[in-house]
Structure 1
Amino acid sequence: MPRSAELPYHHVADVLADPAVPAVYEAILADPRPSRRRLVEAGHEPEAVDIALTVLHVRDVIDATDPEAIEVAPPDVAIPAYAALLERQARSLRLATAGLAQTYHRVRTPLIGEDSGLIRRLGSFDEVTGVVEKLEESVRHSLYAVVAGGPRMERIVAGGHSAIHPSESGPSVEALAVIDASIFELDGAASEFSRRQSFGYDIRVGHDVPFNLLVVDRESAVIDTSNTDPECAGSVFVRDPTLVRALIHLFLLMHEAGMPLPSSATATGASGLSERDRLILTLLAAGTSDTVIARQAGVSQRTVERRIRAFMDQLGASTRFQTGVQAVRAGLI
Structure 2
Amino acid sequence: MPLPSLAALGIDAVTADVYEFVLSSGDTVDVGTISAVRALDVATVVTALEQLRNLGLVHRTADGTVAADGTSTAGYGAVDPRVAVSALVAARDEQLADARTAVTDLGALFDDGRRQADPSGSTTVLTGHAAVGDWYSRLQHRARHEFLAFDRPPYVVATNESVERGALGRGVRWRAIYTVASFTGDGSLQGIHRLGAHGEEARVTHDLPVKLAVADRAVALVSVGPLDDPTAPPEALVTESPALIAALCDLFESRWRTALPVPALPTASVDGSPDWAEVAARLAAATSGDEGAVLEGVPTASRPPTVDERDLLALVAAGATDEVIAAQLRVSPRTLRRRLRDLFDELGASNRFHAGVEAARRGWV
Larger Rg: 1
- TM band (smaller chain): 0.3 to 0.5
TM-score, normalised to structure 2, is 0.43
TM-score, normalised to structure 1, is 0.47
